[in-house]
Each structure stands twice: as structure tokens, then as C-alpha cells.
Amino acid sequence: MSVPGPRVLVTAASRHGSTREIAAAVARWLPDTAAGRDAGLAAGFLAVDQQPDPARFDAVVLGSAVYVGRWLEGARHYAATFAPTLRSRPVWLFSSGPIGEPPFPPDEPYDAEPIARLVGARGHRVFPGCLEKDSLTFGERAMVTAMRAPTGDFRDWDAVRGWCEEMAVDLVEHLAGAPPA
């Protein structure tokens, strides 16, 4: 009988779907990393609005789309609601939002650091996002036009895959050194 490997919850808040696609890719790619395969790692994606219980998992990846420099309310609420549980296991955060070349806006989301401290995150990555005018509301289109924000898909899938490799190694090393539960 084989011992099941670590289970990772990947959850994210997404307004128009591109951040959800990044999170789903993370859930697919984590088990397929060298460290993930060796450890028998399993990962699954559940949207943050489903309020998945992180206590059922050995580690958590929490992400959010970023609008006007902030994480979406659903991701902020999830982090606050489950903070005690999240602090008791390895957690990584990611933000999806900057668009264009060079990235616009260039700043980190201003609430990512406080959320990282709240949940005891092992790391936070910012990935370029996707901004397609056709998926925006009238108000969002007006703001994008007024700001002259670039549109298109700027996601860097190689960077996401590389981060999965890093997280898998970190998780496996962390769990190997952690005392039994």
C-alpha cells in the first residue's frame, strides 16, 4: 500500500477568468514537476468563492487578480477567514495583473504584503495578466480607455511553470523536515 503524497489546494479569485486559468495551470503543473512526481504530490483547483477548506490540504496556493492595485475582495476575505489554518501550513501567494511591456502598473499590489504576513506565506509572485476589452464591463472599458492601458494577453506561462518547480521543491523539503502531524 502506497502512502499518498502531499495534497495542495490551489485557489484564486478571478473577475474575468484569466487568473482562474493561471491557478488551474498551477494545479496541473505542480504534480508534474520533478519534485512533485518524486513526492507523489497531488494538487487541485477550487475557486475562492467556493470557500474551500484549507484544513483538508497539506499546502495552499492562493491567488487573486489585481484591480486598481488591490486583490479582489473574495481573496482578501478568504485569507482573513482562514488565516489561522493557513498559518499552520505552507502557503504561497500570487497576483495577476500587470499588463503591457513594461508592466503597467509597475508596483506590487499594495495589499499583498499584509496578506502574506497574515497567512505566513512562504512567498508571493506577481504575474502579468490579461486584459481583453471584450470581456470588460462598460465602466471597466471606460477606465481602460481613460488610462490608455494596453490590452491583450501578457501572461508568462514559462514563469508560472518555473514557479511551480520552485514551490514543489520548497514544499517537499519543508514537509521532509517537518515533524509528523
User: Of 144 and 8, which is predicted with more confidence?
Assistant: 8
pTM score, whole prediction: 0.85
**Residue 145 pLDDT grade (very low, low, confident, very high; cuts 50, 70, 90):** low
Give the pLDDT mean for 150-164: 85
H/E stretch holding 175:
helix 157-177
Is residue 102 predicted with pLDDT exceeding 50? yes
Determine the Cα–Cα distance for residues 7 and 125; give it in Å rounded to an integer.
21
**Residue 133 pLDDT grade (very low, low, confident, very high; cuts 50, 70, 90):** low
Domains and CATH numbers, the chain: 7-174 (3.40.50.360)
Poorest-confidence range of 4-8, 49-53, 90-94, 97-101?
A: 97-101
